[in-house]
Amino acid sequence: MRRKQLLKCFFPVALLGMSVLIMASCKSPESTKPAEETKTFTSTTVESHAHTVTLKKSAIQASPAEGLTMNTSSSSGHTHTFRMTKAQLDSIINSTPVTVTTSTDSGHSHDFAISNWWWL
């Protein structure tokens, strides 16, 4: 009688343990890697130079009504204004890439291909 009771208790516990082990082994190492808070994007090259912008995940996720405005890195002695609208921010949140064109400075502008990096 005791043997039957022991098997009744042991079997569900063993089954649960095996299920947990199987699920843990199926998990990809990347899925546990935390998303970076920031990402630096590089613009198109125009007139032999490019610029960068570093975006914060929290700034994009806040999606302010006025959008997001910052200066690009300095290159060839100038910067550009980088401006994302609320609609562009919302697109990024929904994993739809956008192209952002900078202000025209020194007679030219640059494009940035911005995409969601934390849900890859």
Residue 107, pLDDT above cutoff 60: yes
Residue 29's contacts (CB-CB under 8 Å, 6 or more residues apart) are none
CB–CB of 39/54 below 8 Å?
A: yes
CB–CB of 108/97 below 8 Å?
A: no
pLDDT in tens, 31-57: 555 678 999 999 999 999 999 999 999
DSSP 108: B
Q: What is residue 25's predicted lDDT score, i.e. its pLDDT?
A: 54
